[in-house]
Amino acid sequence: MHPLVPRDGNGLVLALDVGGTDIKVALQDGSGTLHGLRRLSTPRDARRPGDVVVEEVARLLADYQEQAGSVPVRSIGLVVPGLVDEVSGVGILSTNLGWRNYPFSRNVEEATGLPVAFGHDVGLAGEAEMRLGAGRGLRDAVVMVIGTGIAGALFCDGRRVHGGGFAGEIGHAPVAGGIPCACGASGCLETVASAGAIARRYTELTGVPVSGAREVLAAAAAGNTDAARIWNEAVEALAAVVASITAVLGSEAVIFGGGLSQAGSALLDPVARLVDSRLSFHRRPRLLSSVLGQDAGLTGAALRARDLLAATA
Amino acid sequence: MHPLVPRDGNGLVLALDVGGTDIKVALQDGSGTLHGLRRLSTPRDARRPGDVVVEEVARLLADYQEQAGSVPVRSIGLVVPGLVDEVSGVGILSTNLGWRNYPFSRNVEEATGLPVAFGHDVGLAGEAEMRLGAGRGLRDAVVMVIGTGIAGALFCDGRRVHGGGFAGEIGHAPVAGGIPCACGASGCLETVASAGAIARRYTELTGVPVSGAREVLAAAAAGNTDAARIWNEAVEALAAVVASITAVLGSEAVIFGGGLSQAGSALLDPVARLVDSRLSFHRRPRLLSSVLGQDAGLTGAALRARDLLAATA
């Protein structure tokens, strides 16, 4: 673990990004630097799925406070997946982690005695990207995180769109094709265009197992026509949804994060060409890669925890 | 012209909805009632396309003030089509009416001496529908006006989305098919699903001229398979775009206005069924018909003009 070196007198905030597999946790100092970034397995208990997370947060706070010595940890930023009510601080639903209407803010505040900023993982990752990353200075942008699935955050007129907790579900925007999705619908974007779908569909088509979408892209680049077909279908589906969303929202940019965005221009260039061919008088969205990468969620949690201090100062 | 009967002491506002063919104009009293609604041809002058509208506004103000007698007209609400910057009060572009970066607010204020609220016709029609019509009490909704073309206004978290003046262009969201659009792109929703497109495509397919989309719907209902095909393609394209937008924005409702919405359940029911089949865990948007109908733009202009008085009171 890195030494903890707070830079100024604003104190520390503890940031936690709870995922389906791991919890990422770090302290952030007043300069915005993350300290002591760790990754731990997400605790699971089918009977008490929220409580075990809250207990882990309290334990981690004690750990980090001990290491920070006399510099106080003053607030906590916590982000989780699923449907989230950020105003009331409730995790409405995580099918993966199992909670339903769990009052995270209240319970973490009771367990730790600190004020808690609570939010949606991709939503706050998007906020961080807009405030400190590829979206700096933009008012109208879409952040898309493409990994096992596809999730997003929408920013319009300088504000994130909440839609009662339902906004941003870009992975479940309908596209042509009609492949059944785990969500129960058919033809969701992420059945064709997520990194997971690209790998899975290539294996289904060819019988050849691959480690991930990156291998499919490499095969396509080497002339494998099956790989090229799967890759191109993903690109076309992404372009259709990006063109549709940005045409309607007037977005200035789309910022790609998650594993698939590491493909860089091999992904962004063909998507940009197709998007461009579908638009006319519209704003042309710039397609950008995430700057904050995997730490975006943690940084977003920390920013919100710090906002809380500023608001109550 | 109706007698002008203001109901209370808040005075009158003059509301004008400038369209490609007509200007609609009326006074609104403090109770929200419109008085003396008239429709006049939109004045056109290729060399001075904005100026002739401003001159007409000043002339109409004098007319209406004379008829209102001692009750003062205290502000003006003006809505226009095209790209609009509502903050600076500028008509950025109307390809139809011909202006480009024309300072409507400033020039109308100079010509009349009254404060001016200036906005986009469909945007402010949508605001009126949300404040007084089918969208009352909703925070997340899409207003779609389907006539010769298709235009829209998006409401997220209780606010209209502006997107730098580019938001709401639902008619130019891309759909499958690829029919060339007047905007320069191909496959825009309005090439298949506007009232104008439905009539035009039926005539192209059959050689039979029709007065409008209503006639195509009647023919489809009477068993004409060509008419049914054109109508169903419109319904499918609308459903695809509605499902996509509402899935991503988390909309509670879609409110349909314009000529095609007069088809009522013949339009809304099949669109609702298709939208429903494309969604899973999402919010299910209710599909509603506009309550304010053709006066929505005028009412929106009046509301904004009145907001201006409240803000400066």
Instruction: Give pLDDT tens digits for B139-170.
Output: 999 999 998 889 999 999 999 999 988 899 89
Residues of B in contact with A154 (CB under 8 A): 156, 248-249
- pLDDT tens digit sequence for B266-303: 999 999 999 988 887 778 899 999 999 999 999 999 99
Q: How many CB atoms lie within 10 A of CB A181?
A: 20
SS3 B149: coil
A163 with B280: Cβ contact below 8 A: no
B283 with A163: Cβ contact below 8 A: yes
**Average pLDDT of the segment spanning B218-237:** 96
SS3 B187: coil
CA distance B282 to A305: 29
SS3 A1: coil
The pLDDT confidence band at residue A5, using thresholds 50, 70 and 90, is very low
Residues of A in contact with B168 (CB under 8 A): 248, 250
Lowest mean per-residue pLDDT among A27-41, A171-185, A190-204, B205-219: A171-185
**Average pLDDT of the segment spanning B23-32:** 92
**Average pLDDT of the segment spanning A107-119:** 97
Of residues A251 and A280, the one with the higher pLDDT is: A251
Domain match, A80 and A164 both: no
Share of chain B above pLDDT 70, in %: 96
Predicted confidence at residue A9, as pLDDT, reads: 54
Residues of A in contact with B139 (CB under 8 A): 164
Of residues A208 and B31, the one with the higher pLDDT is: A208
Domain match, A180 and A253 both: yes
A117: left (phi over 0), alpha (psi -120 to 50) or beta: beta
Q: Residue A83: beta bridge partners? A: A93
A243 with B181: Cβ contact below 8 A: no
Min Cα distance B281 → chain A (Å) is: 7
CA distance A81 to A49: 13
Q: Which residues contact A58 (CB under 8 A, 6 or more apart)?
A: A108, A111, A112
**Average pLDDT of the segment spanning B161-187:** 84
Question: CA angle, corner B214, sides to B211 and B216, nearest 5?
Answer: 80
* Interface check B100 vs A, CB under 8 A: no
Predicted confidence at residue B31, as pLDDT, reads: 85
The pLDDT confidence band at residue A2, using thresholds 50, 70 and 90, is very low
Domain match, A112 and A146 both: no
CA distance B311 to B291: 27
- Cβ–Cβ under 8 Å, residues B254 and B141: yes
- pLDDT tens digit sequence for B190-208: 999 999 999 999 999 999 9
CA distance A183 to A187: 11
The pLDDT confidence band at residue A6, using thresholds 50, 70 and 90, is very low
Residues of B in contact with A241 (CB under 8 A): 244
The pLDDT confidence band at residue A313, using thresholds 50, 70 and 90, is low
Whether the predicted pLDDT of A1 surpasses 80: no
Q: Compute the mean pLDDT over every residue in chain B, rounded to the nearest whole number.
A: 91
Domain assignment present for residue B256? The answer is yes
Whether the predicted pLDDT of A182 surpasses 90: no
Predicted confidence at residue B3, as pLDDT, reads: 41
Residue A145, domain CATH = 3.30.420.40
Here the ipTM equals: 0.83
Tokens linked to B164: 């730098």
Tokens linked to A38: 């760790």
Domain match, B144 and B280 both: yes
Residue range(s) defining the domain that contains residue B204: 138-290
Domain assignment present for residue A4? The answer is no
**Average pLDDT of the segment spanning B167-186:** 83
Domain match, A220 and A117 both: no
Domain match, B146 and B268 both: yes
- pLDDT tens digit sequence for A31-70: 888 999 999 999 999 999 999 999 999 999 999 999 988 8
**Average pLDDT of the segment spanning B11-25:** 94
Domain match, B215 and B263 both: yes
End-to-end CA distance of chain B: 31
The pLDDT confidence band at residue A3, using thresholds 50, 70 and 90, is very low
Domain assignment present for residue A200? The answer is yes
Domain assignment present for residue A226? The answer is yes
Q: Which of A249, A252, A277, A283 should we substitute to test contact with B (largest number of B Cβ atoms within 10 Å)?
A: A249
Residues of A in contact with B154 (CB under 8 A): 156, 248-249
Predicted confidence at residue B311, as pLDDT, reads: 73
- Cβ–Cβ under 8 Å, residues B285 and B250: no
The pLDDT confidence band at residue A7, using thresholds 50, 70 and 90, is very low
- pLDDT tens digit sequence for B109-143: 999 999 999 999 999 999 999 999 999 999 999 99
Whether the predicted pLDDT of B221 surpasses 80: yes
Domain match, A305 and A275 both: no
- pLDDT tens digit sequence for B255-264: 999 989 989 9
Domain assignment present for residue B163? The answer is yes
- Please give the tally of structural domains in chain A: 2
* Interface check A143 vs B, CB under 8 A: no
Predicted confidence at residue B5, as pLDDT, reads: 46
Domain match, B299 and B282 both: no
B245 with A241: Cβ contact below 8 A: no
SS3 B154: strand
Q: Compute the mean pLDDT over every residue in chain A, rounded to the nearest whole number.
A: 91
Domain match, A286 and A298 both: no
Predicted confidence at residue A187, as pLDDT, reads: 82
Of A165, A169, A278, the CB nearest to B174: A278
Predicted confidence at residue B178, as pLDDT, reads: 74
Domain match, B174 and B100 both: no
Share of chain B above pLDDT 90, in %: 75
Whether the predicted pLDDT of B57 surpasses 60: yes
Whether the predicted pLDDT of B180 surpasses 70: yes
A172 with B252: Cβ contact below 8 A: no
Quick one: closest CA in A to B93, which residue? A281
Domain assignment present for residue A1? The answer is no
A156 with B152: Cβ contact below 8 A: no
- Cβ–Cβ under 8 Å, residues B268 and B289: yes
* Interface check A241 vs B, CB under 8 A: yes
Domain match, B145 and B206 both: yes
